[in-house]
Amino acid sequence: MTHTESMQRTRIKFCGFTRQDDIDTAVALGVDALGFVMWSKSSRSVGIEQLAALAAKVPAFVSRVGLFVDPSAKWVEACLPHLDLLQFHGDETPEFCASFDRPWIKALRMRDTIDLAFEAERYAQSQALLLDAYRPGTPGGTGESFDWSRIPATLAKPVILAGGLTPENVSQAVHQVRPYAVDVSGGIEASRGCKDASRMASFVRQVASADAR
Ligand SMILES: O=C(O)c1ccccc1NCC(=O)[C@H](O)[C@H](O)COP(=O)(O)O
């Protein structure tokens, strides 16, 4: 059964926050989860002090998600007090992902050879699988989409659809895939790391209208 058949709305995660004003806007729009890039090679990354300051002002019942790419255990542990959920974007093993005292999701890049049923079994302890576009050498945040018809109608884990989503295409994406959640970064930005309030609002409206279809 898809989540829509069970009458659940599509959850929304916005990723790559660096500014308090953008977080305030997203929270006011009712966004479910806010992502912080804890990978220093990203132009959207925040340091631990910035994470602490931003995360402290996120109200209850909005998830603070930390995004990691092949981190050390020490780095994840340092970030843990400010996070509700961990998102792993590299080649982390299931054992590594499960070794922290937080729920977690695994991002999978949709390379041609990927076997999603196998990955769902492999990452069985994850809360969900985030499916993202594959670009060699770039672990995420590419702003590129992939062919959504490659996602099986049923999968053992909830699907978070990511990769190149925008206010312009998210309604079609939700209608076609019926994911548990959608995740966006570049599609709601004015510039790298800076969100655009009107694009954030438009994205949320488009998801709601797709849910109502
Ligand atoms: O945003 C980054 O710079 C980034 C770097 C390394 C791994 C993941 C990264 N971002 C993840 C996301 O923002 C999203 O979860 C996802 O990749 C979708 O991004 P976009 O295609 O820009 O909507």
| DSSP label at residue 157 | S
Q: Is the CB of 132 under 6 A from ligand 1?
A: yes
Element at 48 (helix H, strand E): helix 48-56
| Locus of tokens 């209850």 | 60
Question: What is the tens place of the pLDDT at every residue in 106-122?
Answer: 999 999 999 999 999 99
- Ligand 1 centroid vs 164 CA: distance in angstroms? 9
Q: How far is the CA of 141 from the centre of ligand 1 (A)?
A: 2
Query: Does residue 213 surpass a pLDDT of 90?
Result: no
Separation of 128 CA from ligand 1 center, angstroms? 16
Could you tell me where the DSSP H helices lie in the chain?
20-28, 48-56, 73-79, 94-97, 116-122, 170-177, 197-212
187 phi and psi angles, rounded to 5 deg: -70, -10
Q: Could you read off the pLDDT of 190-208 as tens digits, one per residue?
A: 998 899 999 999 999 999 9
Give CA–CA dist 55/23, Å, rounded: 9
Q: Tell me what pLDDT residue 201 has.
A: 98
Q: Is the CB of 37 under 6 A from ligand 1?
A: yes
Contact of 100 with 68, CB cutoff 8 Å: no
Ligand 1 binding pocket includes 187 (Cβ within 6 Å) = yes
pLDDT (average), residues 161-190: 97
Pairing of β 189-191 and β 194-195 = antiparallel
Q: Which fold has domain 11-212?
A: TIM Barrel (3.20.20)
Q: Indicate whether residue 160 lines ligand 1 (CB < 6 A).
A: no
CB-CB neighbours of 63 under 10 Å: 16
pTM of the model: 0.95
pLDDT(7) > 70? no
ipTM confidence score: 0.96
Residue 4's pLDDT is 45
Average pLDDT of the chain, as a whole number: 95
Domain boundaries, the chain: 11-212
